[in-house]
Structure 1
Amino acid sequence: NFSVPPDDSVFEAGNSKLQNVQTKSTALQPPIVHEIRRLNTSTWSSADDELLLLLISEFGPGSWHSLAEEYFGMRKTGPQLRSRYVDVLNPNRIRGHWTEEEDKRLIQLQQDYGNRWTHLQQHFVNRVANDLKNRFRYLQKKKQASNSESNKTSDT
């Protein structure tokens, strides 16, 4: 049976961070990868986040599949790495309030191109496609609630 050692147990004193990453990766890889189900694919630890950020700073974003295989062993997939970085860890991602201009642009672009959120993302600086989709849905619900309220008022 293959078991995952605690996060820090494979790090050795004196190694650079990247050497630690390589040591950790090697220690986590079982002899026969294809026969064992992926372990811990849904939960992200702070060590996983730190490792991913280190790899991005070293190699840049991209090559997600290669990074997953080489540094995360069986624990994460390429799409999981990409999603975690783009949706959660990306330091350039704007998480703050939406401006009125952004809302208007989002509504207009959605009318022009439909629900092609990845395409619409190109028209926004540091907003991810999922944020666009969520914001648009929020604006729709807000508009529906406003219309519903005005209908109630006009009925009386």
Structure 2
Amino acid sequence: MITQLSTTFGSWNILNQIKKNNPSREMVVLSGTSSQTDLQLVDVSGKDSVFQTPIDYSVINQYGESSWRGFFRFAFFNLPDEELRVFDSKVNHLMSAPEAPVGLQRLLVLEPKKHKNERVLLTIWQLDSDYSLWKRSASYTPFKTYTNGTYQFRDTNYTAYDLN
């Protein structure tokens, strides 16, 4: 179980060089689903960031396999203090369900280190269609509340990308 992760963005050349310069680190390159030039490098080693301009997260909860392959969905929420507890409770309920949504490999609840009232729900799916099915299921319903404009919701989708 990791307690933190860091991300950075850049070109193929820059991210490839960072990865080569840090061979002892487990890093995953993600390619945006809407643009293959939208690249993100995620350091999943759990160690302090080696990036010059990192976005650092504390991992406050996690569920599932240790897989870092598949379809990645980052959902960002800005929540008031009283709603943070409710949101976290809904995520805990999802994680303790007898069966995970079909295709869900991993779920991480992230807290940006510079923004304590934000949550990032990082889900990793076998296929993007698995996420689409979950979004229409009953287990997704408790999260629909947070996708309106009230909570400054935004999301991004990526797939694991091999630099080699």
Whether TM-score is above 0.5 comes out as no
Shorter-chain TM band: under 0.3
TM-score by length of 1: 0.22
More strand by share: 2
Report which structure shows greater RCO (CA 8 Å, sep ≥6): 2
More helix by share: 1
